[in-house]
Structure 1
Amino acid sequence: MSVAQASTPLSHLLPPLILGGAGFSHQIYRNPNSAQALEVLKRAFQLGLRAIDTSAYYHPSEILLGEALSHPDIVSQYSRDQYLLMTKVGRITATQFDYSPTWVRQSVLRSLQRLHTRYLDVVFCHDVEFVPEEEVMGAIGVLLEMVREGHIRYVGISGYRIDILARIARRVQIQYSRPLDIIQNWAQMTLQNDRLAQEGLDAFREAGVSCVCNSSPLAIGLLRANSVPVGDLGDWHPAPPGLRSAAKEAADYVAEQGESMAALALRYSIRRGQSLSTPEFRITTIMGITSISELEDNIAAARQVLLVSTEPRWLWADTGSSTEVSVRRAKEDDRLRAAVHNILGPWYGYCFPSPGDDWDVATKQPAAARL
Structure 2
Amino acid sequence: MTGAIPTRALGIERLTVGSVGYGTMSFADFYGQSGYDKDESARAVLARAAALGVTLIDTADVYGPSEEILGRALDGHRDEFVVATKFGIRISTGPNPSRKIDGTRAYMRQQIEQSLRRLGTDHVDLYYAHRIDPDTPIEDTVGWMAELIAEGKVRHLGLSEAPAATLRRAHSVHPITAVQTEWSLWERGIEDEVLPTARELGIAVIPWSPLGHGALTATITSRDELAETDIRRQVPYFSEEHFDANQATLETVRRIAAEVEAEPGQVALAWLLHQGDDVVPIPGTRRQRYLEQNAAAAFVTLSPGQLADLNTIRAHGPRAEEMEARK
Q: Could you state the TM-score of these two structures normalised by the residue count of structure 1?
A: 0.71
Is 1:171 aligned to residue 164 of structure 2?
Answer: no
- Aligned residue for 2:160? 158
Unaligned runs of 5+ in 1: 1-7, 305-325, 360-365, 367-371
Match of 1:224 among 190, 198, 217: 217
CA shift digits 1:168-203 (9 cap, x unpaired) = 1222244x2x332221111x2x22233434432221
Residues 215-364 of structure 1 aligned to structure 2 (within 5 Å): 215-227=208-220, 232=229, 234=231, 235-239=233-237, 240-252=239-251, 254-255=253-254, 258=258, 260-272=263-275, 276-277=276-277, 282-304=278-300, 326=301, 330-331=302-303, 334-335=305-306, 338=309, 344=313, 347-348=314-315, 351-352=318-319, 354-356=321-323, 359=326
CA shift digits 1:29-86 (9 cap, x unpaired) = 513721111111111112221220111111111011001111xxxx2xx4x3331000
- Aligned residue for 2:25? 22
Is 1:43 aligned to residue 48 of structure 2?
Answer: yes
The separation in 2 between residues aligned to 1:127 and 1:29, in whole angstroms, is: 24
Residues 99-248 of structure 1 aligned to structure 2 (within 5 Å): 99-128=103-132, 131-132=133-134, 134=136, 136-159=138-161, 164-174=162-172, 176=173, 178-186=174-182, 188=183, 190-206=184-200, 208-227=201-220, 232=229, 234=231, 235-239=233-237, 240-248=239-247
- Aligned residue for 2:6? none
The separation in 2 between residues aligned to 1:165 and 1:221, in whole angstroms, is: 25
Equivalent position amino acid for 2:170 in 1: V
Change (3 A) 1:11 1:196: farther
- Aligned residue for 1:362? none
Equivalent position amino acid for 2:60 in 1: S
Change (3 A) 1:356 1:137: farther
> Contact (CA 8 Å) 1:195, 1:349: kept in 2 or not?
no
Equivalent position amino acid for 2:79 in 1: D
Number of equivalences: 299
Change (3 A) 1:337 1:262: farther
Tell me the secondary structure at the aligned position of residue 18 of structure 2.
coil
The separation in 2 between residues aligned to 1:337 and 1:60, in whole angstroms, is: 40
Q: Offset of 1:114 from its aligned partner?
A: 0.7
The separation in 1 between residues aligned to 2:247 and 2:104, in whole angstroms, is: 42
Change (3 A) 1:168 1:140: same
Tell me the secondary structure at the aligned position of residue 58 of structure 1.
coil
> Contact (CA 8 Å) 1:56, 1:92: kept in 2 or not?
no
Query: Greater CA deviation, 220-229 or 53-62?
Result: 220-229
Q: Offset of 1:100 from its aligned partner?
A: 2.8
Q: Offset of 1:252 from its aligned partner?
A: 4.8
Change (3 A) 1:146 1:230: farther
RMSD of aligned residue pairs (Cα, Å):
2.9
Change (3 A) 1:253 1:14: closer
Identity %: 25
Unaligned runs of 5+ in 2: 1-10, 92-96
Tell me the secondary structure at the aligned position of residue 54 of structure 2.
coil
Equivalent position amino acid for 2:153 in 1: H
The separation in 1 between residues aligned to 2:315 and 2:157, in whole angstroms, is: 32
Change (3 A) 1:260 1:249: farther
Q: Offset of 1:146 from its aligned partner?
A: 0.9
> Contact (CA 8 Å) 1:89, 1:126: kept in 2 or not?
yes
